[in-house]
Structure 1
Amino acid sequence: MDEPGNIRIKVPDSKENRQKCICRLCKSYPHDCSGEILFCGVNESKCDINAKTCLCNKCPVYKEYGLKGLYYCDKVSVGESNILMRKRSKEEDPGFYQEVVNIKDESKTGKSTVGSMGSLKKFPFTLDDIYFIPAQVNKIPLNLEEPVQTSVAIGPHSKKPLQVSSPIMISGMSFGAVSKNVRMVISSTASKLGIGFNSGEGGIINEEKDVGLNYRIVQYSTGRFGVDEKILESAAAVEIRFGQGAYPGKGSYLPAEKITDEIARTRNLEPGEASYSPAHHTDMTDHDTMKGKVEWLREITGGVPIGAKIGCGDIKSDVNLLADIGVDFIALDGFGGGTGATDLYVRDNVGIPVFAALPQAYKTLQELGVKDKISIIAGGGLRTSADFAKCLALGADAVYIGTAALIAINCQQYRICYSDLCPTGIATQDPKLMEQLDVEEGSQKLTNFIELTNEEVANLTRIVGKNNVNQFSTDDLISVNKDFAQITGVRWLNGEYIH
């Protein structure tokens, strides 16, 4: 039977109870931690427990306070349901132990386990398995003082291309999932640096409505929260969100208890109404309705780039269709992309990483003869300047960062975004917790991070002998993993392509 995680508060740590305690007589008593006693009232042992037998139910303290469990020397409070369960041993795999805890939670609540941020699952290869090929004599590297173009045009053949100063852009993070302070940091930083930033699906707060208008990508999501014709008309680009890397093919949900009055107003919801984004757009279910929507958005915005964001999966087919309906850019959000909250069974088991999707998308657009017209934005688990530059070399025109931007601002990866208890002021609407994020300081730190990584991307461009980030290609890369070389079309260590 389960006992609540706070069961120990029933048992006073008194001299009388310590005298009654028989823990030291038990065959399972941890003699390496000699001196520990009254585990049912104090805490678990600091030592691993070799379970042989248990005397707990023979103890007068146990009977006096109506306890029901065993092995209190080995029990800790775990999971969202806060039940008492054995602690993880020093040699036990943390992932396995967490799976046990998740099953305990699910069996207790009947609900799927929810997690925040991107999946921590590891693939047999990653972007770390590819390296840049330095220019030496066949090609000459550039000196540090030689200029490198980092500006990028998104949707170059649209009537009003989105011109940004850097290939590094901020992905969509909605008000509600993140705090108002985060939205203010992102919009002010983007405006100052001239970089692209995405509104996310939660509408636009009053404080940022007139900030960064030349660089704001308005997200047109399945829930259509806070997006009206006036906001669309102000967009520098529009991104139709069909899915995202953390939960492709699944809708999202912000419960009513997290909907403050301001969030409700911004999302055009009734007070106390939950926010649900369906898995698909109800008015875009086939080629013709999607094409019609793209044309309508293009007309209402006066010709700004109209793009689509998809979770990475059936890339060739999806990119074929998106090209045919006339989008100006495609945002690929790979496995491992972050989120405020989603079910773990989806986050950890659906989709493919962006480094596997990018080459497919690039090749498909090349074969269709439209790559010069349609931009690719890569996202999902990208953290460093090397990640960004490698994606550019694999075929992206720009990259989206989300989690990396939040870390730069103030996030410390507590990974409890869904709880509204974020202690860094990032993923909370609690006024006291929001005080942990100073907008001016957060903006300066995000500015520093983007300026630094943008310059590092420029330096990597110099190292491969080029003066424009738009000139990166797979010829600049080599893979130490043969399978990765084959998947990405990058040369293997022997200098040859694997077919």
Structure 2
Amino acid sequence: MSDILQIIILSMISLLFVIFLFLLIGWRWIMKRIVKQAGKIIFTDSYQENLIEIIPGFRHMGVQNALENNLRAETGDILHRPFGSSKKWPHFDQITFIPVQTSPFPIDGDEDVEVKVTIGPKAKKPMKIKIPLMISGMAYGIALSEQVKVALATAAKNTGTAINSGEGGILPEELESAGKYILQFSKTEWGKEEEVIKRADMIELKLGQGAMQGMGGNISPENLTGRAREIMGLKNNEVAHILEHYFENQTLNDLKELVEELRKLSGGVPIGAKIGAGGKIEEDIDNLIEMGVDFIAVDGGQAATMGAPPLLADDFGIPTLHAVVRAANHLEKRKKKGEISLIVSGGLFTPGHFLKVLALGADAVYLGSVILFTVSHLHTLNSLPFEPPTQAVWNQGKFKDTFKVEDGVKSAEKFLTASTEEIKIALRAMGKKSLQELSKKDLVSYDELTAKMIGIPFTFAPWEDQSNKSESESS
């Protein structure tokens, strides 16, 4: 029996050796045959039978559209695409900063630059943060895992900024780890405990967001498991409901009373609201002013969420660039600039984006997708190449247990620190000793329409002409 086995093994080794020699010597001939045969099929078959038909098909429809339509055909249900809209929106890349080089001069690199921010300056207890970058609302349980939420909260505390709870359950460990804590008061049954309201440094009514507008949703028990259900007070088979309204037959006066109630319960922390930036943003801001808010968070059209219907993400809202300009201008028109803080988010991925938004009138920036990718950093390699990187951060992710909190803290903290230092060096290059000195007067654009829309110089026009134009317009 052993002799037969040896013969079989020897035969297999010999066969593999022959195949190896054949490939080694004849690989060029093999490749030529394959290419010739494939080329003949591609170049001679009619379009109706040709695999190449897929190229004009994808170019006509788009790869993503084809993919999503096939998913609709498979499920018969609403799609929930992560990370918001994938279409190209007008953005901040066509705007640049004006350096100082001859007179005045840049600020010395060793000199500190002040970047502290106060949110809700007219509130009884304004929220003061050391940097203008805050971590946006990303829900525990509904979206992020416990480990990721704790890592983000700790990183926010270590860098002197605030983290937003999101509309998920209020994780006790996140509360303990956080420094400045923003409670997102959502249209849900959970996250409204009085002790949490009193713990919050700021409270945000979530009226809408960039990728979902004012719509809610239902999360099935299969898509929301583990400890999060207990924290959110859900029964075993209970669906988690995110509603469209706080009250039945809701009115603006109801929301105004809610703002006042939260202001009293919290002891006077800033109370504000988050909205998705829409075509009537000025009217929305007027309504928020009527409600008596201390801050307004505007989420632009490029904003993301864990999962939103593509129609809401792609075909609603206005670009973040347009939103910040219109919102800042309207607050100034209503003489609320300096009284009501403006926070902006949506498609902001680099320190340059952050600083341009601040120059255009925002008081602070919310970071969402960008901080999620940085907190996960090398953790994403645990799920690749067979699963998407988010499987390391979602609460339902297959690799969430591989996420190490201490590593996430380091990654997020380093990103926030590096971004802040880049902002400081940019301010020095503009001759600024403080973020408060920054304005849209420090901007130009190489796109004439963008320059005209914002009210900043067009880079092709001589500076003297721009100065004269500005003086004549102001007079």
TM-score with structure 2 length normalisation?
0.83
- Code of the aligned partner of 1:260: T
Change beyond 3 A, Cα 1:48–1:363: farther
Match of 1:223 in 2: 188
Q: CA deviation at 1:363?
A: 1.4
- Code of the aligned partner of 1:199: S
1:120 aligns with 2:103: no
CA contact (8 A) 1:245 1:334 kept: yes
- Code of the aligned partner of 1:425: A
Change beyond 3 A, Cα 1:236–1:90: same
Change beyond 3 A, Cα 1:429–1:479: same
Aligned to 1:276, what secondary structure does the other structure show? strand
- Code of the aligned partner of 2:268: G
Match of 2:176 in 1: 210
Match of 1:289 in 2: 254
Match of 1:429 in 2: 396
Change beyond 3 A, Cα 1:304–1:101: same
Match of 1:98 in 2: 64
1:450 aligns with 2:443: no
Match of 1:11 in 2: none
Distance across 1 between alignment mates of 2:394 and 2:417: 24
Of 14, 32, 52 in structure 1, the residue corresponding to residue 45 of structure 2 is 52
Q: CA deviation at 1:91?
A: 9.7
1:132-158 deviation line (CA, Å, top 9, x unaligned): 001223432211111111111100111
TM-score with structure 1 length normalisation?
0.79
Distance across 1 between alignment mates of 2:271 and 2:64: 42
1:25-81 deviation line (CA, Å, top 9, x unaligned): xxxxxx9772899xxxxxxx8999468369xxxxxxxxxxxxxxx97x95xxxxxxx
Aligned to 2:241, what secondary structure does the other structure show? strand
Distance across 2 between alignment mates of 1:156 and 1:113: 41
Distance across 1 between alignment mates of 2:53 and 2:137: 38
1:162 aligns with 2:142: no
RMSD, aligned CA = 3.0
Q: CA deviation at 1:283?
A: 5.5
Q: Which aligned pairs between 1:11-90 and structure 2 lie closer than 5 A?
A: 34=34, 49=42, 52=45, 74=51, 88-89=54-55
- Code of the aligned partner of 1:429: Q
- Code of the aligned partner of 2:124: K
Distance across 2 between alignment mates of 1:297 and 1:305: 9
Match of 2:365 in 1: 399
Q: CA deviation at 1:490?
A: 2.2
- Code of the aligned partner of 2:215: K
Distance across 2 between alignment mates of 1:221 and 1:209: 17
- Code of the aligned partner of 1:449: F
Match of 1:441 in 2: 407
1:377 aligns with 2:343: yes
1:140 aligns with 2:105: yes
CA contact (8 A) 1:424 1:436 kept: no
Match of 2:326 in 1: 360
Distance across 2 between alignment mates of 1:307 and 1:423: 30
- Code of the aligned partner of 2:314: D
Change beyond 3 A, Cα 1:366–1:46: farther
Q: CA deviation at 1:233?
A: 1.0
Between 464-473 and 126-135, the greater mean CA deviation after superposition: 464-473
CA contact (8 A) 1:248 1:311 kept: yes
Change beyond 3 A, Cα 1:174–1:423: closer
Between 481-490 and 352-361, the greater mean CA deviation after superposition: 481-490
Higher helix share: 2
CA contact (8 A) 1:422 1:433 kept: no
CA contact (8 A) 2:140 2:395 kept: no
Aligned to 1:282, what secondary structure does the other structure show? coil
Structure 2: 5+ residue runs without aligned partners?
1-30
- Runs of at least 4 residues of structure 1 off by over 6 A? 45-48
Match of 2:76 in 1: 110
Structure 1: 5+ residue runs without aligned partners?
1-30, 38-44, 55-69, 75-85
Q: CA deviation at 1:197?
A: 0.9
Change beyond 3 A, Cα 1:48–1:463: farther
Q: CA deviation at 1:421?
A: 6.8
Distance across 2 between alignment mates of 1:229 and 1:468: 38
CA contact (8 A) 2:377 2:408 kept: no
Q: CA deviation at 1:87?
A: 8.7
Distance across 2 between alignment mates of 1:114 and 1:290: 29
Aligned to 1:445, what secondary structure does the other structure show? helix
Aligned to 1:174, what secondary structure does the other structure show? coil
1:480 aligns with 2:453: no
Distance across 2 between alignment mates of 1:281 and 1:51: 64
Match of 1:234 in 2: 199
Q: CA deviation at 1:458?
A: 1.1
Distance across 2 between alignment mates of 1:138 and 1:427: 51
Distance across 2 between alignment mates of 1:269 and 1:488: 48
Q: Once the two structures are aligned, what percentage of the paired residues are identical? A: 32
Using CA pairs below 8 Å that are at least 6 residues apart, which structure has the higher relative contact order?
2
CA contact (8 A) 1:410 1:424 kept: no
- Code of the aligned partner of 1:367: K
Distance across 2 between alignment mates of 1:47 and 1:141: 65
